[in-house]
Structure 1
Amino acid sequence: MTDSADSDSDDRTWRTDGSGGGQGAVTVGAALEDTREALSLAADPDVTSREAAAIRRASRVARLLDEAVRVPGTDFRIGLDPIIGVLPVAGDSVAAALSLYPVLEAYRLDASRGTLAKMLALVGIDAFIGSIPALGPVFDAFWKANEWNVRALERHVRGE
């Protein structure tokens, strides 16, 4: 049962009363952004359905790693990268491996060597500095390499 609808920035949050009397919140801002992005890609006559699907997949991974959760009371978002990066070695290794997915999509779409090199450099910096104890997770919260890599992939697909 819906109790109220709050609006924070571009995210819409519906608060519902749980059976235990507590409140839960569901943020639909990311879903709205996916829809806007899909419509933008579908409207671009130079983007094939294969390219649009690749960008959507890479965007989902990037959003999960860089901007999955909004920090309460702010417009700042963090993803799984800084959260799993707290686990020494294993967390950073998993995050780095997942961060290579947008690069793989760019490779599949024949991105230039320059674009791929830039994307790999962003992931490398993320993995290297992100692995430093204490500083790494804080750096990961602000360094949005995956989102930047998706933007590079979009520029490649659109021929910019």
Structure 2
Amino acid sequence: MDSPQTARPRPPRPDLPLGTDPQAVRRRIEAMEQVLERSFTVPGVNRPVGLDAIVGLVPVVGDVIGMAMGAWIVWEARNLRMPKWKLARMAGNVAFDSAVGAVPMLGDAFDFFFRSNTRNLRIIRKHLDKHHPETRVIDG
């Protein structure tokens, strides 16, 4: 057991809220979108990529994992009581990304350019800005 003097410092954890209020849901979805689409920048290309493109390189399993993470964003949007047509549009984005992403080689390049989770975040933000304006965050 480490004494307080020898304990290693832990990396900071993002404080993501666990609530079901619109502000908490928005913060969780924004964090997931960043992990999936903009985690780091590819050297030389200067284009951000995320976990979705990386796990998509693993045949079959990677595409299933990417689809599941994208479906989680749609599920969170459902918890916001978004209209069914918006949920269907978001599910279509995830399904299209997964279907094309499953094609070997072409799908990996496609994942680099088509960002279904970013598109879905845009739909959610627009909904929240209209129906829950108190959740707006000024990007700086």
TM-score range normalised by the length of the shorter chain:
0.7 to 0.9
Letter in 1 for 2:101: G
Q: Please list the CA deviations of residues 45-85 of structure 1 after superposition, one character each: whole Å capped at 9, or x if unmatched.
A: xxxx9211111101111111111111224441111112111
Query: Which residue matches 1:46?
Result: none
Q: Does 1:142 align with 2:110?
A: no
Query: What TM-score, normalized by structure 2, do the two folds share?
Result: 0.75
Q: Distance in 2 between matches of 1:101 and 1:151?
A: 15
Shift >6 Å, 4+ stretches = none
Residue pairs, 1:141-160, within 5 angstroms: 141-159=112-130
Q: Distance in 1 between matches of 2:115 and 2:41?
A: 14
Work out the number of aligned pairs and report it: 113
| Structure ranking higher on relative contact order (CA contacts 8 Å, 6+ apart) | 2
Letter in 1 for 2:72: Y
- Structure 1 unaligned residues grouped into runs of 5+: 1-30, 32-48
Q: Does 1:123 align with 2:110?
A: no
Task: Report if the CA contact (8 A) 1:82-1:136 is conserved.
Answer: no
Q: Does 1:85 align with 2:56?
A: yes
| Bigger strand fraction | 1
Percent pairwise identity: 33
Q: Distance in 2 between matches of 1:75 and 1:87?
A: 23
RMSD: 1.7
Query: Which residue matches 1:69?
Result: 40
